[in-house]
Amino acid sequence: MGPKPLALQDLEAYWTKEAGPQKWIRVCMDTGGIAAGARQVHQALIDARDDWMLDIHIRQTGSLGLSYADPVVVVGDASGVTGILGNMDPESARELMRLLGNGGRALLEDRMIVPHVRGRSFSGPPQTMILVKDTNAPHPEDRTRFFQELIREELQVHGLADQVGVYRAMDMGLYQKGICMQLLPSRVTYSNVSGPDVRRIIHESLGEGQVLEEMLESGEDPQERIVLRHCGHIDPDELDDYLCAGGYRGLKRALLDMTPEEVIGELKTSGLRGRGGAGFPTWLKWRNTREPLAERKIVICNADEGDPGAFMDRSVLEGDPHAVLEGLMIAAYAIGADKGFFYIRAEYPLAIQRVQRALDQSRAAGLLGPNILGSDFSFDAQVRLGAGAFVCGEETALIASIEGRRGSPEPRPPYPSVKGLFGKPTAINNVETLAAVSVILDRGGEWYAGFGTEKSRGTKVFAVTGKVRNPQLVEVAMGTPIRNVIEMCGGAGEGRRIKAVQTGGPSGGVIPRGKMDTPVTYEGLRELGSIMGSGGMLVMDERDSMVDVAKFYLGFCVDESCGKCAPCRIGGFQMLKLLEKIHAGNGKREDLDTIRDICHCMRSASLCGLGQMAPNPVLSTLRYFEDEYLDLVDAGGQAKRGAR
């Protein structure tokens, strides 16, 4: 990117530019990918390409979300993605380059990740490839190999062995469905395939082009990738890439074709609610910040991602920083702000670096600064770092922190929309909220409102972790049942049963197995005593103790309490002592009543959300898993009587 500011026609040239014919490889290089060795894979690809002088474009991207398969590599050409490979290492990277260099496809045994989109018919070119996988087992193992051999033998019998290759997949997007086979290029997929079925598939499907309905797995992509639209596809360090993907089109539309009121109206149509936890309507927050008369106003992107087990915001910042910046600029235009801040956790050095770079590039291109795109809107933004305090995710504490003070929450009102950072009206929005804003302005509020439910519009990104087969990021339409979200990630790992799912982190609660059909909406989760939160989804299986989990979260809140008000400082500490006592088997039944009393007191009397919501994990485990508490109490009592 040259230092020359971009004119409108330059942007339009980017937006209409067609992809070149070149083959390309993208390496997912977010924090998780790099930790798993993506840098070495990237380097091995470059070395191999240069050794063999191939014309293949290699670049880094953010994460596709497939954390379980890191390092992940995506292969494609002008037609789009042609293969996704997981668990890569330098040797397999070299092998991949050799295959592509010889004009072949990205077929690496036990590394192929198969998209969820599946075919229903064989109209089109002949089938030349079969992928196979035992979907009951998370790792490559003997049964898959056995079937691979079986299929090969059967192909031999039919004289097809030379035309049709058979490869083991790493992940078919199907789980607990026995042996699965996918025929390519049609993507017709069969599940629960037995030995005799193999013969039928080859005879009837391959030979005669028939679809065997009784084994057919049809399916569409269960994800709706709106916020994650560019993650894993564009190079987060290149403004050009973002522009070619249609970036800053939403900003252009807002600045040149709409008044600030119309922008707020568009957000109202979209139904977007804050993704940082509370679910406050974004348009309303902006209107409230627009209203007060003030010389200056400020917008802040809250990238403090405090939930200690979630990584949605990090992935978006590392994968598509310009989308968040564009959202922040649109927010600034709507409320009349000229200054913005990214408040980012110091523990996210790569996100910080990529956002900083995005800011520098946009400034050089004239997208930040005075009179943006020739309008009379002027705006600039800078990065400010958190310093390891969860409470600084709370709006008033965040403001104190940017002002260079201890991050202690203040009573509201006055709300930040009236008196915020440096006393100016301030709108604070979450990373995911802002990444949605930029695409809403591009594609329209109406379009966005087409996803989700009546009261919870759009999509939500979840970081699904814990005892799940494939920990990963997923983005689904609001209203998707929790069960489906977990199933997308392969369900419980190691053939165990899921006991509960925790949402909302330290401010949320557990959802027991019996309530898995609950749709993910703000209201649905609240009814169960949990919250949507920022999108952490922690899966727990039979072996996990609910008392231990409650103790963990409460311990976190006690550690992170700023100590300003007594209910949180003292209540939290006392309750933690009681939980520890119960967990160690020294509790009494009365302790549970005391815990409930403290919970209610903290809820109603704490100054900020941290203290008010810290009881949630305890109350919700008590609500659904009181047995476990009682078992500990009673077992402890019996052990003592026995010892006497």
Partner 1 sequence: MRTQTEIGSLLDWVEEMRVRVREIVREWDDQEGNLIMMLHAVQNEFGYISRGVAGVLAKETGINMARIYEVITFYHYFRLTPPGSHSVQVCMGTACYLKGAQKLYDELAQQLQLMEAAGGRQGDVQLETVRCIGCCGMAPAVVVDSETHGRLCPGDILQFLKRKQEARHGS
Ligand X SMILES: Cc1cc2nc3c(=O)[nH]c(=O)nc-3n(C[C@H](O)[C@H](O)[C@H](O)COP(=O)(O)O)c2cc1C
Q: Where along the sequence are the contacts to ligand X (CB under 6 A)?
A: 274-278, 280, 285, 302, 304-306, 390-391, 393-395, 428-430, 433, 534, 608-610
Structure-token match 């269960």, residue found:
222
* Cα 13 from Cα 246, distance rounded (Å): 10
467 forms part of the interface with partner 1 (CB under 8 A)? yes
563 forms part of the interface with ligand SF4 (CB under 6 A)? yes
Nearest residue to 173 (alpha-carbon basis) of 211, 223, 244, 123: 223
384 forms part of the interface with partner 1 (CB under 8 A)? yes
**Taking contact as CB under 6 A, which single stretch among the options 86-94, 282-290, 317-325, 600-608 is the one that binds ligand SF4?**
600-608
| Amino acid in position 633 | V
**Does residue 297 contact residue 331 with C-beta atoms inside 8 Å?**
no
544 forms part of the interface with partner 1 (CB under 8 A)? yes
Least Å distance, CB 501 to ligand X, is: 20
- Which of ligand SF4, ligand X, partner 1, none lies near 565, with the C-beta cut-off 5 to 8 A by kind? ligand SF4
DSSP track, 629-644: HHHHHHHHHHHHHHH-
In 253-338, beta strands by DSSP E: 298-303
Backbone angles phi, psi at 483, to 5 degrees: -55, -45
Site residue total, partner 1 (CB under 8 A): 52
**Taking contact as CB under 8 A, which single stretch among the options 13-21, 302-310, 356-364, 630-638 is the one that binds partner 1?**
302-310
Backbone angles phi, psi at 190, to 5 degrees: -115, 145
| Amino acid in position 628 | E
Positive or negative, the Cα torsion across 538, 542, 544, 550?
A: positive
Nearest residue to 400 (alpha-carbon basis) of 251, 562, 225, 520: 562
DSSP track, 384-433: EE--S-GGGGSHHHHHHHHTTS------SSSPTTTS-GGGS-EEEEEHHH
Least Å distance, CB 274 to ligand X, is: 2
Least Å distance, CB 308 to partner 1, is: 4
* Cα 374 from Cα 371, distance rounded (Å): 5
569 forms part of the interface with ligand SF4 (CB under 6 A)? yes
* Cα 271 from Cα 608, distance rounded (Å): 26
Choose, by CB under 8 A, the member of 221, 360, 403, 593 that binds partner 1: 403
Least Å distance, CB 353 to ligand SF4, is: 30
Choose, by CB under 6 A, the member of 324, 562, 595, 598 that binds ligand SF4: 562
- Which of ligand X, ligand SF4, partner 1, none lies near 325, with the C-beta cut-off 5 to 8 A by kind? none
Residue list 40-79, contact with partner 1 (CB under 8 A): 67-68, 70
611 forms part of the interface with ligand SF4 (CB under 6 A)? yes
**Does residue 227 contact residue 316 with C-beta atoms inside 8 Å?**
yes
- Which of ligand SF4, ligand X, partner 1, none lies near 417, with the C-beta cut-off 5 to 8 A by kind? none
379 forms part of the interface with partner 1 (CB under 8 A)? no
346 forms part of the interface with partner 1 (CB under 8 A)? yes
**Does residue 319 contact residue 62 with C-beta atoms inside 8 Å?**
yes
Choose, by CB under 6 A, the member of 316, 368, 511, 565 that binds ligand SF4: 565
Can you give the binding site for ligand SF4, defined by CB under 6 A? 391, 409, 561-565, 568-569, 606-608, 610-611
User: Would you tell me which residues interact with partner 1 (CB under 8 A)?
Assistant: 31-32, 34-36, 67-68, 70, 307-311, 314-315, 346-348, 382, 384-390, 401-407, 421-422, 463, 465-467, 471-472, 502, 505, 536, 538, 540, 544, 549, 552-553, 556, 562
